Amino acid sequence: MIFAKKRDLRFVLMRRGGTLRDADHRLLAVWAADCAQHVLHLFEQYRPGDSRPRQAIELTRAWARGEIKVTRAKIAAWAANNAAREAPGAAKEAAHAAGQAAVVAHVAAHELGAAAYAIRAVRAASPEDKRDMAGRQECRWQRRQLPARIKKIVLDDQKLRNKYCWLVFDC
């Protein structure tokens, strides 16, 4: 859904023929988790007893620390995406952000999915006349969270894949 037609080798691990270092892959996952965490309250307000998106974010961070295997993060992503299917509007988008964050452990290029869904969540939670402004503010907040080591690659990726990501990175 959010991938370009040609695979960007900057998001493929070096041991798999790309140029991405393991440490940078982990930074991408943490940043994606930060983006999803920032909007998690939009899901939890709708479904306070449903911990699936929160658990996906927590397991993303655990994977980045080397505490769990990719498989556990992928299962958590699936659960968060199931939670999204059961929710409307901003809650749905926030749960999808958590699911996308968790699958960064599997495919680094999902980092934009977490960010894009988080922006969509903020937009959906805002009054119609303030949605564009809210989305731009969230996009700028996300960019301020980017660690210096991955900032260039993420900003380049946003330019390249913005059209696949609902044009949410025009901020």
**What local confidence, expressed as pLDDT, does residue 6 receive?**
75
CA distance 164 to 24: 23
Structure tokens at 46: 């709708």
CA distance 59 to 118: 18
Instruction: Quote the pTM value.
Output: 0.95
**What local confidence, expressed as pLDDT, does residue 7 receive?**
80
**What local confidence, expressed as pLDDT, does residue 1 receive?**
46
Structure tokens at 134: 């809210």
Q: Are 35 and 114 a contacting pair, CB within 8 Å?
A: yes
pLDDT along the chain (171 residues), means of 10: 72 94 98 98 98 98 98 98 98 98 96 97 98 98 98 96 93 92
| DSSP code at position 67 | S
Structure tokens at 122: 């903020």
**What local confidence, expressed as pLDDT, does residue 2 receive?**
58
CA distance 53 to 127: 24
Exposure string over 12-33, b if 16+ CB within 10 A, otherwise e: beeeeebebeeebbbbbbbbbb
3-state secondary structure of 21: coil
CA distance 16 to 72: 21
CA distance 73 to 124: 27
Domain residue spans in the chain? 14-165
Question: Which stretches of the chain are DSSP H helices?
Answer: 22-46, 52-64, 70-85, 89-103, 111-125, 131-145, 148-161
